[in-house]
Amino acid sequence: MSGLSLDDLGYRFDDEGVLRTVKDGKTFEFVDQAHYDMLGEAVDEEIYKRLVEDCGLEKKLLRPPGKVDDYEDEDLAFVFVSKDWKKAQKLLVLVHGSGVVRAGQWARRLIINYNLECGTQFPYIKRALALGWGVVVMNTNMTATLDQDYKYSNSPVEHAESVWKTYITPSKADQVFLVAHSRGGTDMADLKKHGLDERVNIICLTDSPWFDIPRALWDRKTPFFAINFLARGSVKTADYAPREYKKGFVQDLYSGTKTHEFSSHCAIDAIFYILQNLTLENHKETMVEAQKLVHKEPEKEDILKRGREEKKKDGDDDGEPKVKKARQEDEAGPSTSS
């Protein structure tokens, strides 16, 4: 890691969450891969800081209960939790996807090229806290450095397992909600075990086509709901037709965008509608209402892209993010191996 801050690199986020140069207020321009990687690491640290300062979360080392060891702090991964994670009646667990993204992020490319609103998990965290829910933010890509593996977090699945044992199982929540992006869905493989906890009853996925409900969950006393907001087709796609609930069924819905990285941003209203309203009796009706909410969601993405086009016309920006020319180590789409 370079250890350089955004300020060291001459950047800052403005009041609208747009990354700009300190010197002249210009938006990000790609220089080379090394510079982009350094900037990305500085963004990671900035997001960590804002999770605490802006979202009010606490940074916690990931050491499962009952573990007695002599590991130093630097040997351990960390996560972020709300102050009331243990006693809140409802608990929201956020899981990012693959690549270089870390806790609090959906997509580094969106953070750097668009804004914090669409690229981070901040909107989910703040909305959950406003509803009085507890929040746990996983950091599943924090598995190793060049020199060592992190203890209790050697892989994304082990990280998730450690988070379950440390923060989800001990919580007093009546309901546990999961929102997972892309590979984050497969990181929830531990649902084979922890999904038997009757409190874990809804998982909303954003463009995570690999997720299947483990067979072990089919015999729960209460239903387990899984909704996958995909970034292909349209709201009229036949496979997205709302259906009645049945065991082992994953309801696919349109996310409101055909861009993989934008799926979490565009589906947020529909996701929270589901988390707040879904029951066994109203499953189909809730899916219908959720799907209505994504009718207008493409406007979010369109506004951002139109904004870049306007800047291009004004000579302030070059339109589409130059980072597309860089090596794609960010959260990748479902057509790749992420």
For the domain covering 59-308, report its CATH number.
3.40.50
Amino acid at 18: V
Q: Where are the beta strands (DSSP E) in the chain?
A: 11-13, 19-21, 58-61, 78-81, 90-95, 134-137, 175-181, 200-206, 225-230, 250-254
CB distance 250 to 227 below 8 Å: yes
Q: Where are the beta strands (DSSP E) in 124-219?
A: 134-137, 175-181, 200-206
Look up tokens 């990354």; give the residue.
19
Q: Which residues of 203-233 are buried (b: 16+ CB within 10 A; e: fewer)?
A: bbbbbbbebebbeebeeeeebbbbbbbbbbe
Q: Active site residue: 182, 255, 263, 264, which one?
A: 182
CB distance 80 to 60 below 8 Å: yes
pLDDT string in tens for the chain (338-residue length)? 568 999 999 999 999 999 999 999 999 989 899 999 999 999 999 999 999 999 999 999 999 988 878 888 889 999 999 999 999 999 999 999 999 999 999 999 999 999 999 999 999 999 999 999 999 999 999 999 878 899 999 999 999 999 999 999 999 999 999 999 999 998 987 777 777 789 999 999 999 987 888 887 888 888 999 999 999 999 899 999 999 999 889 999 999 999 999 999 999 999 999 999 999 999 999 999 999 998 765 566 665 665 555 444 443 333 333 333 333 444 544 433 33
Q: What is the pTM of this model?
A: 0.90
Q: How many CA atoms lie within 13 A of 10 on its CB side?
A: 10
Can you tell me whether residue 33 is helix, strand or coil? Answer: helix
Angle between helices 283-293 and 268-277 (to 10 degrees): 160
pLDDT at 308: 58
Q: Where are the beta strands (DSSP E) in 45-155?
A: 58-61, 78-81, 90-95, 134-137
Look up tokens 């959906």; give the residue.
106
pLDDT at 328: 41
Domain ranges, ordered by start, for the chain: 59-308
Beta-bridge mates of residue 144 = 149
pLDDT at 214: 83
User: Is-catalytic flag, 171?
Assistant: no
Q: Please name which of 286, 213, 298, 289 lies closest in space to residue 257, comparing C-alpha atoms.
A: 298
Q: Which residues of 165-202 are buried (b: 16+ CB within 10 A; e: fewer)?
A: bbbbeebebebbbbbbbbbbbbbbebbeebbeeebbbb
| Backbone φ, ψ for residue 90 (5° rounding) | -125, 140
CB distance 28 to 324 below 8 Å: no
Question: Please, which residues have CB within 8 angstroms of residue 263's CB and are 6 or more apart in sequence?
Answer: 181, 206, 207, 229, 230, 231, 255, 256, 257
